[in-house]
A and B are shown apart, each in its own frame.
Chain A
Amino acid sequence: MKQKTPVMPDTGADDETPPETENLAALPSALLPLREEVLANLAMLAQIPAPTGEEAQRTQYILDRFVAAGLPEAGPDEAGNAVGFLPGKSGRRTVMLVAHLDTPIPKDADHNVFVQADRIVGAGVADNSLGVAVMSMIPRCLEELGIHLDSNLQFLGSVRSLHRGDHEGLRFFLDHAQRPSDFGVVVEGIELGRLNTFSIGTVRADIICDVRPEYERGYGAGSALIVLNHIINRLLKISTPTRPFTKIRLGQIKAGALYNVEPNHGELGLEVVSDSNEMIDRIVGEITDIVAESSARNAIDTRLDCFFRREPGGIPFAHPLVKSVVNVMSQLEIQPDQAHRPSELSEFIAHGIPAVTLGITTGETHIRRPDFVMIDPILTGVAQIIGVLLEIDRGACDEQ
């Protein structure tokens, strides 16, 4: 293997004072020889369907990448996550990089990827094939740059993250990890500049309505759709304060198949988000009452299924990890955007691990048409991840 000239200084585990990370702005250019490899990795990965719960083929793909990159430890865990480990020189710290393998795209959808001059287009390329592709390329990038970290790097392609998966893969790993992580970096495809440091408290639930058989009905609605409409009207009357930020989102409704038949089954998907746990408890209590009352009044079976709960929390803006990330972004001329967006960050928060969620490039994500990601900013996004690893490695992110 050819000898690489280090672009960045060796972070020097034995030094008394860790060196400042310098020359970060040169990193994207130094990564240029890997551009096609990153794009190829994205294109091949994105063409593997991976709806939640069916990520096995992607897991194998990522494990193959880990092995090819020379990671001494690479294999699946019991949950089906793709796990890789790159030991640091001293292993004083362990940094975990995670990207979720599953996508919201059905298996039978067209997964063909198009590589255009300025962008890559395809189902799920932004959420989250690019995040996975970059996460799995970090060992290659470090090798290309001649960087040998003092810290251990723990890589995880996580399964069952989305929807009812409820971050199951990452949670399993964090619950059972043999080596506790000191820091976490959640890698998402878009947007470059994304800097999530806190997680809003969230409950996700389905209200499931089944009309009783005709002979059991006293009086009441014959249509699940009408019942759900009554429930929606009641939900809209629940008062939510501006502070602490609280919101009820009605996100999905499913009922009926034909124009001439009133449905006997319906489902309403909703989300309650708030900065306050107490507020979430109050609202979930009110929704529970509404559903129970509706069930009794309409003589039908209606139930509330809360399948997802995330506690509010995170690290403060003053945390050294956040300051370091902002510093890295500044050197790479990335504008930080700290608006909240859901990610697997909440699992790190729940486990008391300082963590951030970072995006790689600009683009758009869609459900009914293909995502796209812009090619040009990708290497800046990769450089940002490496910059953050270097900051963590030199101890700049440690709490005093």
Chain B
Amino acid sequence: MNNEAWLAQRTFHHSNFWDIKWLVEEKQRQGLTISLCLPTYNEEKTIGKEIVILKSELRDRYPLLDEIAVIDSGSTDRTLEIAASFGADVYLAEEHLTECGSHRGKGENLWKALYLLKGDIIVYVDSDINNIHPRFVYGLLGPLIKDPEIHYVKAFYDRPLAFSHGLRPTGGGRVTEILTRPLFSLFYPELTAILQPLSGEYAGRRSILEQIPFPVGYGVETAMLIDIYEKLGMSGFAQTDLDTRHHRNQETIALGRMSFGILRTMFNRLTREQRAQFSGELPKIMRQFNVQDGHFEQVEYLIEEIERPPIIEIDAYMQKFHPELQPANS
């Protein structure tokens, strides 16, 4: 399937899946369980609304979700209290799988979600969305429920709209257009068909997510795409247009650090696949500069981009989810 064919066949709009009742019936017929994971770190302003709306619409009214869980990186605000008060299961990431140690980062929470949540399908939705709507979840679940060949669905938030002077280009954010898409064009051309590779909302089958490593930091979205692509090719993917998403905009300087993490993740994969070689280990320090009263000050950020192994390599996970594969006690 070339990029254009893939785009035509595997690009959906959330309105394709408006019939939530059908999704529930089909989910039940297939015997699927579905978990929603909301990774958080100090999201008291938005987490309440996300839980209230998604729980009400997709668990209470239509039982599409079997569980809604917040997995937190150690918030110091009221995120956990608010989440619990509206009925979400709340987990502090560092308190689980302690034998594996603890790292702080979104990817860490997503990885531990595979152990903590029970669903055959995991939906990941960022917790900073102002205009949260059930479509953010059912739009991602629709392709997975509809087509068993699809294993991973990515959100995007823009559509090529007809303008008076023709089509306007669609695209992602600044990091996507300046960094990720050029890199994909160079090394993984097929993945350029994923319109917003860095979007924070996606859903996947446990059967594939448990087989891939998770960077704990900025690179988790990029890594997921590359690693699932390596295993399934483009036939494992779909993407859904969720219309608009309102969230906090990050400053350019923060995007610089994000880009550093993504580059490290990308280079890890290129060296792993022997498509690039570097002499020695790549630096983990990102340098940026502040100016104050005419003086320039260098600020160093340690961005390690630690990666968690595929969770099937963790004994506790295998005992919980694949006990049949455990060696019998002698």
Contacts and interface: CB of A to CB of B under 8 A. Distances in A.
Contacts of A114: 45-46, 48-49
Contacts of A68: 61
A136 to B, nearest CB: 13
Contacts of B53: 40, 43-44
B88 to A, nearest CB: 10
A40 B82 contact: no
Interface in A25-54: 33-34, 36-37, 39-41, 43-44, 47
Contacts of B45: 114
Contact of B246 (A41, A43, A112, A115): A112
Interface residues of A, number: 17
Given A47-B131, A117-B82, A36 B87 contact: yes
A44 B133 contact: yes
A66 to B, nearest CB: 14
A112 B53 CA distance: 14
Question: Of A41, A113, A114, A115, which is in contact with the most chain B CB atoms at under 10 Å from its CB?
Answer: A115
A178 interface: no
A286 B249 CA distance: 57
A43 B44 CA distance: 16
A43 B52 contact: yes
Contacts of A43: 49, 52-53
Nearest to B53: A40
Given A47-B131, A112-B130, A37 B56 contact: yes
Nearest to B81: A117
Given A36-B87, A37-B61, A112-B130, A117 B48 contact: yes
B19 to A, nearest CB: 12
A36 B55 contact: yes
A37 B48 CA distance: 13
Contacts of B81: 117
A36 B61 CA distance: 10
A369 B84 CA distance: 28
B60 interface: yes
Contacts of B87: 36
Contact of B56 (A40, A113, A117): A40
Contacts of B49: 43, 113-115
B48 A36 contact: no
Given A37-B56, A39-B52, 6 more contacts: A34-B60, A36-B55, A36-B86, A114-B46, A115-B51, A117-B82
Which 7 A/B pairs are nearest by Cβ-Cβ distance? A115-B48, A40-B56, A115-B49, A36-B56, A37-B56, A40-B53, A39-B52
Interface of B: 44-46, 48-49, 51-53, 55-57, 60-61, 78, 81-82, 85-87, 130-131, 133, 246
